[in-house]
Structure 1
């Protein structure tokens, strides 16, 4: 067990290191000196856009061993100029959360348990139900014969983790399908 040296006393360290006010090297512990930032050990930095809202703040994503280790604001972004809101700052957790679902889960009507499905089967199920709902609830004209060309059996709700482009494409898809009930989580 090593003994604490008189030379390591804070006041002595301040005078010895040329930091009389104790605002720099004199108050930095050895443990702090040994720490390296996650950003300095990253293999590469990828520019991205925050996925949470429609603002489109720029992000710098630090990747090491093909895993996201840190996300910071992008100073080159003309929109956010290096700033991120609390959700954008925590978006690293969106990718690295241990409870993140990585497979499709399906629960049949009246079933108690979830079952795993492959992505192709789940996509086909959604498409079949979408087409069937559109076909069964299509309204071509109203009682006076005016053109409606809509369906009230399909509604769309955009999410806050989708970016502008994804929400735009979803709105175009649902509008083309005849849906008129479209909303976004950001407005609710």
Structure 2
């Protein structure tokens, strides 16, 4: 245990250092001086976009040992110029939350139990069902013989937690698949 000297009290440090107002280095403790921001200890910085709304604010994601340690506004972003809303500022908690689901859960029809699936299996199941729904509900023409080329078996309801570019790509994907029932939360 380090013995504390009264000469290290802030008022004595103020007088010794000439920091008479007590607003400079005289009032900082050794622990405070030894503390470094998480952003300076990061291995790399990755530019990203805030996931919460369709504004598309730029973010700098600070990564150390392949783990996100801090997320801040990107000053170079023409959209947000380094500013983030309260939700965007807290997006590091979205990534590192202890309650975050990290594996896929699947409940088979008429089952009462959930089973864990790896991501590849879950993606394959979704793709197979997507293609099957498209094939099963495809309409070439209507009753009058007019060309339709659409499917009524696929519906898309987008959310505001994805940015404009992702919404654009989803619209293109579903339109290319022949779906016509495409909606977004931002319009509702």
Range into which the TM-score falls when normalised by the shorter chain: 0.7 to 0.9
1:171 deviates by 1.0
**What's 1:124 paired with?**
124
CA distance in 2 between counterparts of 1:118 and 1:27 reads 54
2:175 is aligned to 175
- Distance in 2 (alpha carbons) for counterparts of 1:61 and 1:68: 7
| Cα distance in 2 between the residues matched to 1:124 and 1:45 | 33
Number of aligned residue pairs: 187
Residue 53 of structure 1 corresponds to which residue in structure 2? 53
Q: Which residue of 2 aligns with 1:42?
A: 42
Once the two structures are superposed, the pairs formed by residues 1-188 of structure 1 within 5 Å of their partners are 2=3, 5=6, 7-188=7-188
Normalised TM-score (structure 2): 0.83
Contact 2:62/2:69 (8 A) holds in 1: yes
Q: Does the residue aligned with 2:101 lie in a helix, a strand or coil?
A: coil
Q: 1:143/1:43 Cα in 2 relative to 1: closer, same or farther (>3 Å)?
A: same
Distance in 2, matches of 1:34 and 1:144, equals: 79
Shift of 1:106: 0.9
- TM superposition shift of 1:79: 1.7
Q: Which runs of 5 or more residues in structure 2 are unaligned?
A: none
Superposition deviation, residue 174 in structure 1:
0.9
Q: For 1:117-171, what per-residue CA distance to the aligned partner results, in whole angstroms no more than 9, with x for missing partners?
A: 2334323322232233223333444444444433333111224443333322211
1:31 alignment partner, SS class? helix
Which shifted more, 73-82 or 143-152?
143-152
CA RMSD of aligned residues (A): 2.5
